[in-house]
Amino acid sequence: MRIRNVLLLAVLSLGLGMTACQKKEESPMEKAVDAVGDATNTRDNEELKDAGEDAADAVENAGEAVEEAVE
């Protein structure tokens, strides 16, 4: 009985955690505001967002290089 309760608690915790972390979809207006902010470098935490974008680009380029090397 105790193991069942612990397992149930773990499943519920994971379920709630996944729902809390779910990213909501941006509206077209929010996307436009972000694009303008990005172009004019006026977004909140601009350096951090630029670093994240650069890291994503680097990972994508590395993935493409690996695909080309495999071919």
The tens digit of pLDDT for each residue in 23-57 reads: 778 899 999 998 898 888 888 888 898 899 999 99
Domain assignment present for residue 20? The answer is no
Which region among 6-10, 19-23, 54-58, 60-64 has the lowest average model confidence (pLDDT)? 19-23
Domain assignment present for residue 18? The answer is no
Task: Give the per-residue pLDDT at 22.
Answer: 65
pTM above 0.85, yes or no: no
CA atoms within 13 A on the CB side of 39: 6
Domain assignment present for residue 7? The answer is no
* Mean pLDDT in residue range 4-33: 79
Query: What is the spatial distance between Cα 7 and Cα 15, in angstroms, rounded to a whole number?
Result: 12
Residue 33, C-beta contacts closer than 8 angstroms, at least 6 positions apart: none
Domain assignment present for residue 10? The answer is no
Domain boundaries, position 54: 25-71
Contact status, residue 43 vs residue 37, Cβ threshold 8 Å: yes
- Total structural domains in the chain? 1
